[in-house]
Structure 1
Amino acid sequence: MDPSNYKKLSAKEGRPNLVLLHGFPSSSWDWKNQVAYFQAKGFGLVVPDLLGYGDTDKPVDPKKYVASRLAQDITDILDAEGIQVAVAIGHDWGSRVVSRLANDKPERFSGFAFLTVGYLPPRPDSDPWKSVDILKRLVGRDVIGYFHFFFEEGVDKIIESHFDSFFSLLFPHDPLLWNDHLSVRGATKAWLDADRQAPLPSYLTSEDKEHYREVLLRGGLAGPLQWYHVMSTGALAEDDKLVPPEKIPIHKPVFFGACTKDQVCPPAIHEAPFKALAKGPFTLEEFPADHWLLMSIPDRVNSSLDKWIETL
């Protein structure tokens, strides 16, 4: 990766380096509140735009987005910066990268933190189509029905042509909006076809929205949507076969920040892998927040992460 495509702030002596990995559909901008907090305290920060986003490359080959390659991007960055050990923190699909770093490069990290989306262990026999139905039975309602829409070809152009509608759905003013208009199969496409728009949440500024509009539309959504297509093509499952069984448990300290108001990532569906596979110290904290806790309750998130990092 070109060094101009990521950010790095040097750590003061005695402070660790943090790697902050964002999710879909956003950018390193998600972490602005965490960067301000941890920079002021002397932490080192590596906050990249992940593959498909911002000024990073945007390939449309889903095989470029397999977890092992995404994780290697991060270790390449650490190598370029001369960082031997860091703390990996992921939100949303950033947790997929943190998960693979825990499998492939545990020696490079003193701890792994997952926000909203928990540890995603390798599943070489996984079928995303079946996962939609399994989660529906587990939770008692549709949860990730929008996957079907995101798997379709040409969906990037639909989203781009209805960006304000899409943005108001992905950043909901009311977390319950996702139950009827994101989680249910077919509902997201219906929302966009009708060009429906809802108010923005109070924590999101007009500056935030304009940043996301510029950074996502400038590069297009075809790249970011490969984070989903890599599942539907089977490329992610094939890549998961490369992880030896003994590498699947995490023996380093783990933090999971669960969001009780997140309608797509309810805590219950992510706690089981931790219970089975977190073999080192495990910290669980539930936040009364929606999916975007980095922006909606930044002070509490920053404080909780800070306290956990001190224990490493």
Structure 2
Amino acid sequence: MTKKELQDCHQRIKKYIHRTPVLTSTLLNNISGAQIFFKCENFQRMGAFKMRGAASAISKLSDIQKSHGVVTHSSGNFAQALSLAAKSLDVKAYIVMPSTAPQVKKDAVKGYGGEIIECPPTLQDREQTAFKIQTEKKATFLHPSNDLDVILGQGTAAIELLEEHPYLEYIFTPVGGGGLVAGTALAAHFYGTDCTVIGGEPFEVDDAYRSLKSGKIETNSTTNTIADGLKTQLGDINFPIIKNYVDEIIRVEEDEIISAMQLIWERMKIIIEPSCAVPFAALLKEKQRFENTKIGIILSGGNVDLKNLPF
């Protein structure tokens, strides 16, 4: 990976994404003891950072690939991101979603122009259905997190953050499938000045924490967390980047996630989803270590089910 690849990616997707604001809160600085700069990807198009990776991956396709469309399997933010990015680039998007996916998410995908193909709610069914569409339609499969162009796209949020605040000592991100933390780590390496990347992860789905310890990709036997965007698995493309460039992962309890989410809603007056609160919860959990430092936090998204709030 090179700095030029990140730069080229950022240039390529600028017209398809928002440059999201960086917000601060005196009160949250006082509570944490650190100076925090929140990169607000909850204000990104379709409400999450995944728009960046989706736009990056589609824009790299050849004209022939674009003419056949793209396919992914996702019930979350990547389903919406790929639908909207594909629409922006005039490409057909096929979205494989489990039959159990919330109607609000299906409606969002349809609203962004994606064609939904439902399947039973198992990973095997999702993969088989996506492969069938790949074969029948000659569509290009794009993985939500384990794809180099997706990873580079996700890294552009940290590039923008570091352009505004070049001397951050740490950047915290949530860790789910690993695309955001890997992209952020590359951006910090090439654009930061001694900037350390730290992941936040729920104890209930701590596969990335265990993977860093063991040196190989671990799996979760249960996924009982409120942070529904972090229930996915690291991949063989992003894990080597994470091993090389991510310093550590801090695990947090469910009540710590809820408390951090509530603090941001109440004090910053912005809507973030539970997954988004995880890195802030990780900072608060070990705040003595980070006293008087400059910290960036990627607020990953704001697509929250308002009928199902944890507080």
| Superposed pair shares fold, TM > 0.5 | no
Structure holding more strand per residue: 2
The TM-score with structure 1 as length reference comes to 0.32
Structure holding more helix per residue: 2
